Amino acid sequence: MQLRRLPAAAALLLPLCAQDTATLRIEVTASAAPVAEAAVRVNGMRLKTGPDGTVAVAVPLGRVDVEVSKPGFLTAVTSLKIDEAREWRLAIEIQPHEPRREQITVSATRTDRLVQELPTRVEVLGREEIEEKMLMTPGDIVMLLNEMGGMRVQTTSPGLGAASIRIQGMPGRYTRFLSDGLPLFGQQGAGLGVLQIPPMDLAQVEVIKGVSSALYGAGAMAGIVNLISRRPGREPSLEVLANRSSRGATDVPVFAAVPLSSRWSATLLAGGHWQQRYDADGDGWADLARYGRGLLRPRLFWDGGDGRTASLAGGLISENREGGTLPGAVLPATGEPYLEALRTRRWDFGGQAQTLAGRRILVTVRWAASRQSHRHRFGETRERDRHDLLFGELTARGAAGKHTWVAGIAAEREAYHPRDLPWFAYRYTTPGGFLQDDIDLTRWLSISASGRADFHSRYGTFLSPRLSALLRAKGWTSRLSAGQGFLAPGPLTEQTEAAGLSRLSIPAPLVAERGRSLSFDLTRELGPAVLTAALFASRIRRPIEVRAGERYEIVNLAAPTDNAGLELLATWRKAPVAATAGYTYVRSRKYNGAGRADVSLTPRHSFGLTALWESEKAGRMGVECYYTGR
């Protein structure tokens, strides 16, 4: 007997006139609500649900195949066996279709969750974007960071080209740099540190903007930059890049990765980098300092299975850098030549290991040690110093129901030894403990609450809370974050790094800086386009300022420094074109005695546009355009 489509009322009468058929009533729902006009296929017959989300049909006894589909939802397929001529009911729930997203796991928030699921906003640069910037500046990560929205690489020393990373207008000393979660580059991101990190062994860059002291303690009031290293694949690999620029730069980085056994693997980054002194405007001053740098960074990885992993990393860097006037040139103010030079020697070592305690708790231990020695020359003045850092941390992470929690203890010892100016020496020891809980309350609301207590050996106890929330609804995503942090004062700032400590004085005892930040962002996905708008504000109480004169003075300002701004970001990703446009407005103000004034070296407006067309057969072609205000 051949069946044809019948109205639902007529279908109910079929069991009365045929004993070899049954009535199948299908109920289609989504999020507990009925779905009308859903397409239903029953053994090849095409039907549609009514306003109540149901449809009834007569089917022969035996196996019945059912498929339900509707635009905007995932297709549901099931089957059942009908062995009795009666009315059968089948309930099917269909799920909304979400656009496919790149599955990026973030470790900077300590929970190793997908970036889309994090209540805390994390911006991520993947390997593809890193490679694009590496082809232009393979010697450092300056261009990589400078082209991210809300971030700026600010030159701090015109003689040597030292720079710091400013996040949303905040000074560079408030940004903390990490390598796989370890402070291998020292406590602060200011100075030449970012100029000595090549991007060739990076797999991912994670940036959290805003106060992050609840996660990483002191020195993270502007945010953190976490550099994730590349892991070896199944086959050995070797990459060599040779670069020569029109302004006298030569870079030869080498990266090798090799699996040593089923559990052990290793990578090695080595490089030589050179720059000639370059005078762009012909005034006798080297706009680009001369340097020669060699580096070596091996990494060892172990995977024991069942959640047990370990890694070790070490690094050696040697650099000699010279700037100032060119041979035969003099300073107009003095009529004498001026040479500025810096010799850097640094080693670092760190590692981490994790294992499962029971079935649900992951225990991780991290440690790091670094030493950096400098020999500065400012004209006829010479200064020698040494920076030491020791770090250790023990954390436990687990999940229970809607909760993903992290608890840990940490200790850090930071020491500064200026051999020629010993009265500026300091030694800080800071133990602390922290706790974080990510709670997925509903499908549309998740929150993250964290808090940290640090016990500074000189400046006392500091509490650093942070609260973030993620809301999602109908293609819209928003995040709200608020946090508080601190930074212990010291003589090293952007200004003193350029001028040295010989002309510096501290007229009154310094107190710790304290900061608060608040941010809100809203994201909308429209097919291949993603639009994001973010508002941010921060306030630093008792900020450190360097006052220039015949001698430099470091003081705490009585009035706070305020930052506020807006970020707009638009991306388009649909093969073969990928494009990104971003605009940032920052207003950073401080009290100067006569009222509020803009903080120097903080442009209000910046804009960037990048577009790339790529074909596997033809190659790639791109364009970049950037504007930075005064």
Please tell me what DSSP assigns to residue 285: B
Are the C-beta atoms of residues 518 and 536 closer than 8 Å to each other? yes
Structure tokens at 587: 């207003």
Grouping H, G, I as helix, E, B as strand and the rest as coil, residue 583 is strand
Amino acid 98: pLDDT: 58
- Judge whether 331 and 337 are in contact, CB under 8 Å: yes
Mean pLDDT of 551-575: 90
Query: pLDDT (tens digit, 9 = 90+) per residue, 239-289?
Result: 999 999 888 899 999 999 999 998 999 999 999 999 999 888 888 888 889
Closest CA to 466 of 455, 452, 456: 452
Tell me the mean pLDDT in the region 367-395. Answer: 93
Cα–Cα distance, 315 to 296 (Å, whole number): 6
For the cut 60, the answer to whether the pLDDT of residue 5 exceeds it is no
Percent of the chain at pLDDT exceeding 70 = 93
Q: What is the pLDDT of residue 464?
A: 94
> In angstroms, rounded to a whole number, what is the distance separating the alpha carbons of residues 185 and 226?
11
Task: Give the residue ranges of DSSP H helices in 258-376.
Answer: none
Specify whether the CB–CB gap between 18 and 1 falls below 8 A.
Answer: yes
What is the C-alpha separation between 29 and 36, in angstroms, rounded? Answer: 9
Pairing state between β 87-93 and 21-30:
parallel
pLDDT > 90 in the chain, percent: 44
Q: How far apart are CA 402 and CA 111, in angstroms?
A: 14
Q: What value does the mean pLDDT take over residues 526-530?
A: 87
DSSP code of 424? G
pLDDT of residue 186: 62
Residue range 213-235: mean pLDDT, rounded: 88
- The 3-state secondary structure of 347-363, one letter per residue: EEEEEEEEEEECCCEEE
In this prediction, residues 410-438 reach a mean pLDDT of 94
Identify the weakest region by mean pLDDT among 180-194, 420-434, 494-508: 180-194
Instruction: Please write down the long-range contacts of 109-113, taking CB distance under 8 Å and 24 or more positions apart.
Output: 109/208, 109/215, 109/448, 110/215, 110/395, 110/397, 110/406, 110/436, 111/397, 111/404, 111/406, 111/436, 111/438, 113/404, 113/438
Contacts of 602 (CB under 8 A, 6+ apart): 166, 169, 586, 588
Strands 552-556 and 504-505: parallel
Residue type, 424: F
Return all residues near 270 (Cβ < 8 A) that are at least 6 apart.
Answer: 253, 254, 295, 296, 297
Question: pLDDT at residue 458 above 90?
Answer: yes
Structure tokens at 392: 């250790």
Q: What is the mean pLDDT of residues 480-500?
A: 87
Strand partners, 30: 33
End-to-end CA distance of the chain: 83
Pairwise CA distance, residues 484 & 474, whole Å: 32
Residue 10: band (very low, low, confident or very high) from pLDDT cuts 50, 70, 90: very low
Which CA distances in Å does 182 have to 108, 185, 214, 389? 11, 8, 16, 11
Kindly report, residue by residue over 314-323, the tens digit of the pLDDT.
999 999 999 9
pLDDT at 225 over 50: yes
pLDDT above 70 (res 126)? yes
Q: Which has the minimum average pLDDT: 57-61, 95-99, 157-161, 571-575?
A: 95-99
Mean pLDDT of all residues belonging to the chain = 87
Q: What are the tens digits of pLDDT across the range 56-90?
A: 999 888 889 999 988 878 888 888 888 888 888 99
- Phi, then psi, of 425 in degrees rounded to 5: -70, 150
560: left (phi over 0), alpha (psi -120 to 50) or beta: beta
pLDDT band (50, 70, 90) for residue 105 = low
pLDDT digits (tens, 9 = 90+) for 92-103: 998 876 554 555
Which of 91, 11, 27 is closest to 59 using CA atoms? 11
Q: Is residue 15 scored above 50 in pLDDT?
A: no
Which range has the top average pLDDT, 332-346, 415-429, 495-509? Answer: 415-429
Phi, psi of 160 (to 5 degrees): -110, -10
CA distance 154 to 552: 20
Q: pLDDT: is 488 or 575 the higher one?
A: 488
Distance CA 101, CA 475 (A): 13
Q: Smallest Cα–Cα separation from 152: which of 582, 474, 603?
A: 603
Q: Look at residue 165 and tell me whether its pLDDT is greater than 70.
A: yes
Q: Please check whether residue 467 is in contact with residue 447, taking contact to mean a CB–CB distance below 8 angstroms.
A: yes
Q: State how far the Cα of 629 lies from the Cα of 431, in Å rounded to an integer.
A: 42
Report CA Rg, the chain: 30
- Report residue 542's pLDDT band, with 50, 70 and 90 as the boundaries: very high
Q: Does residue 334 carry a pLDDT above 90?
A: no
Residue 582 — very low, low, confident or very high, per pLDDT cuts 50/70/90? Answer: very high
Beta strand ranges found along 457-550 (DSSP E): 460-473, 476-487, 504-505, 513-526, 529-541, 544-547
Q: Residue 9: what pLDDT?
A: 39
The DSSP H or E segment spanning 498 is helix 494-499
Short-list 254, 263, 354, 253, CA closest to 300: 263
